[in-house]
Structure formats: C-alpha cells, structure tokens
C-alpha cells in the first residue's frame, strides 16, 4: 500500500477525485445532507480505484477508476442544481391544482413567476396575488386562445427583455368525463386534444424564442395515463400520450440550442382536475344524448349512472400531497442534467416498467385485477353478477 500511495497512478487518481469532489461541492445548491451525499459519490472513484490498483494492478485499477468516475459524474450531474438567481418561469393552469401549488412553490424559492390563469378575476388568481411576493405576475391565459397566448408572450418578453425566459411549464389540462372510450362523444376527444395537446404545443412554439435566449427548460405536465393505457381514459390518455411524444421529439430537436425538455408523468394526485358537479352534469348530459340506443342497451342504465360515482370516488384514491410533483418539476428546471421523464407518485414508475418490459397480456391482467370491483355492462353480466347488483 505504501508503494501504491507513492505511485504516479495513485496520485493521479487521488488528484482527479479531489478536483472532481471540490467542483461538485462548490456547484451543489443543496442542504448539508445532500452535500454529504455528493461528497460520498465524489470519493467513491478514488476508493474503488485505489483498491483495484492494489488488487488488480495498474491496468485493472485504471479501468475501474474511469468507469466509476463516469457513473459518479452521471449521478452527480442529476444531483447538482443550478442557483435560482433571477430565473423567470411561466406556469400555465395556475388557477387550481398542481399549477397553483407550483406557482406558489417557485415564488417561495425566489423565481420570477408568470402564472397563467384561465380567470384572472377568479378565486385562484386572487389567492396567488394575496399570498405570493411581488415577483409573481398574473397572466390571463387560455391556452386554446391564440390571441391570449400572443398577448402573454408580449407581456413576458417585455419583462424579461434580453435575458430570456428560463422555463415554461405546460401544466394546463382538462380530464373530461372518465368513461369507456365507446361511450365518450367526439367533442370530449376534441376538447382534450385542444387543451392538453394543441394548447401546449402552440404555447411552446410561441415561447421558444425566449427559451432559446436563456438556453432554458421546457417542462410538459403529462400523466401516468399518457404513458400506459388505463380504462376510462381514452380521450384524456390519448391527448397526454401525444404531449409525451411531443416532449420526446422536442428533447431531441432542441438539444442543439441548449434547451432541455422534460415530461412529468404523475400518478394519482388530488388536484381538482375532475371538475365541479355542474361540469359533470353538463358532460353527463352530452354523453347520454349522443349514445345510440343499442349501445345504451348493451351497457345498461345502472352502468352508465355508475360513471358519476366513479368521479365522486376519484379524490379518495388520490394523494393530497403534491410535493413529489413539485420536487420533480424543480429538478427538471434546475438540474444540470435533468431527466427526460419523471414519474412522481405511487405506482407510476412500476406500472410503466411492467407495460414496457413485460408481455402486454401480463399488463392487461394486472389492470383487470385492479379494476375487478368495477361494475359490468349489462350484456356481459352472468346470473351471479345480476344477483350482486340486486
């Protein structure tokens, strides 16, 4: 070991590691606990390299050292966050839910926040104005309204001027009425695509010149339903899947401009996206009016009426703590090497892995077991099912 410590290769390993560790610690904008984690991963290449130098000789030790450096660098690149400074971020859909919580969270961290709201005089907008700092600006922004998108661009560009806009978070979205894809009217499909996909695409295209100036971040709020097929989410899931694919293509195309793109696929969180009772009445009426007689007969009145109880039950199955989503969005905005895809929430990553890595019949079987307590359409019921419904 004395010979090893005095060898040029040993000193080279130690010197490179020390430089690596000091640089990582100086750039890390984290808590003492996180900095200790960074230090550990910085020391790992030297420890393994020196050990392998002693056991495997110069060639083997050098290979292990370089491989460990590569792994540590990749890991630390995702752990090191850039300073907030005076970075400006636009968040759409800030009236309620994730967008509302995110606007508050980013404002509390010192960001200059542009909060796009559907109703500038609504309770959500008033709450933001009352509880946030003077850095936050409200924007009247319906992402399906090209005029409002253009006006928002002019207002933001006037404020950020030559520095550009650091981040755009396309969060605005609608759920529609969760029901079997056969039952949903075409207007539901079109509306989901208009808000969840076309609105996000138009807003992204409009604001990309400002992101190019800052070499900033584009973050698209997709959904677990945008990565895996889930029953009753044909319209919503298709629109979010389109957004996820758009994110992937933009991630590749915009990398040459230094712009980083990420998609967020949250699982079930309590955001209020399911809407109000009045909205349900309207959507349910539209659904019923557009059903052909034979389809209505096949599913049965009790099955159709059970769709509303599914909506009422949804919030009880959702996590009220939005912090996993907020943390992932922050990482996408500030990490030196952000991930292309984030899956905050219980089950989001697991189900995605099962869908991608296992045979489809396996995934379908798991989903069917998860939904085994759901009502059955009239024409598919056995006598046992009928007796349960009585």
CB 260 within 8 A of CB 220: no
The residue ranges of DSSP E strands in the chain, in sequence order, are: 88-91, 112-117, 137-140, 167-170, 217-221, 260-264, 341-342
The DSSP letter of residue 195 is I
Name the token pair of 175: 């759920």
Tell me the CB-side half-sphere exposure of residue 351, using CA atoms within 13 A.
Answer: 24
CB 64 within 8 A of CB 56: yes
CB 116 within 8 A of CB 152: yes
Residues 156 and 72: their CA atoms lie apart, in Å, by: 38
Catalytic residue (one of 236, 303, 342, 363): 236
The DSSP letter of residue 179 is B
* Alpha helices, DSSP H, located in the chain: 2-6, 8-27, 32-79, 97-108, 123-131, 146-160, 186-192, 200-214, 234-253, 277-289, 293-299, 301-313, 323-334, 348-357, 360-370, 383-389
342 belongs to the catalytic site: no
Tell me the CB-side half-sphere exposure of residue 109, using CA atoms within 13 A.
Answer: 25
CB 229 within 8 A of CB 237: yes
Name the token pair of 36: 């200790």
Pairing of strands 217-221, 341-342: unpaired
State the residue for tokens 């609504």.
122
Strand-pair partners of 90: 114, 168
- Angle, alpha carbons 139-320-276 (nearest 5°): 60
Q: What are phi and psi of 243, to 5 degrees?
A: -65, -40
CB 311 within 8 A of CB 280: yes
Pairing of strands 260-264, 217-221: parallel
Residues 96 and 108: their CA atoms lie apart, in Å, by: 17
Catalytic residue IDs: 236
């Amino acid at each position: 070991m004395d010979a090893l410590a005095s060898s040029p290769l040993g000193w080279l390993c130690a010197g490179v590691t020390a430089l690596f560790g000091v640089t990582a610690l100086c750039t890390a904008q984290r808590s003492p606990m996180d900095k200790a984690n960074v230090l550990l991963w910085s020391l790992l290449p030297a420890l393994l390299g020196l050990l392998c130098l002693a056991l495997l000789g110069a060639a083997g030790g050098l290979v292990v050292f370089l491989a460990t450096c590569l792994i540590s660098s990749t890991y630390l690149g995702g752990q090191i966050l850039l300073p907030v400074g005076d970075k400006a971020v636009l968040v759409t859909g800030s009236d309620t839910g994730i967008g509302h919580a995110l606007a508050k969270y980013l404002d509390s961290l010192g960001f200059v926040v542009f909060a796009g709201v559907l109703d500038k005089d609504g309770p959500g907008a008033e709450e933001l104005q009352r509880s946030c700092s003077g850095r936050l600006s409200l924007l009247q922004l319906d992402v399906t309204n090209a005029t409002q998108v253009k006006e928002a661009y002019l207002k933001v560009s006037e404020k950020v001027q030559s520095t550009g806009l650091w981040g755009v978070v396309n969060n605005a979205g609608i759920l529609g009425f969760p029901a079997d894809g056969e039952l949903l009217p075409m207007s539901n499909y079109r509306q989901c695509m208009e808000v969840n996909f076309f609105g996000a695409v138009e807003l992204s295209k409009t604001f990309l010149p400002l992101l190019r100036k800052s070499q900033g971040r584009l973050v698209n709020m997709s959904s677990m339903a945008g990565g895996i097929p889930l029953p009753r989410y044909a319209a919503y899931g298709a629109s979010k899947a389109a957004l996820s694919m758009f994110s992937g293509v933009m991630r590749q195309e915009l990398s040459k401009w230094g712009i980083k793109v990420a998609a967020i696929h949250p699982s079930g969180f309590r955001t209020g996206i399911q809407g109000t009772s009045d909205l349900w009445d309207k959507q349910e009426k539209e659904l019923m009016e557009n059903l052909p007689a034979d389809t209505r007969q096949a599913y049965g009145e009790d099955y159709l009426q059970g769709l509303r109880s599914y909506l009422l039950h949804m919030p009880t199955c959702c996590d009220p703590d939005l912090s996993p989503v907020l943390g992932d969005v922050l990482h996408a905005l500030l990490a030196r090497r952000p991930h292309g895809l984030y899956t905050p929430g219980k089950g989001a990553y697991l189900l995605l892995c099962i869908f991608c890595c296992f045979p489809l019949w396996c995934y379908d079987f798991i989903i069917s077991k998860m939904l085994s307590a759901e009502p059955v359409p009239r024409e598919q019921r056995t006598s046992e099912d009928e007796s349960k419904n009585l």
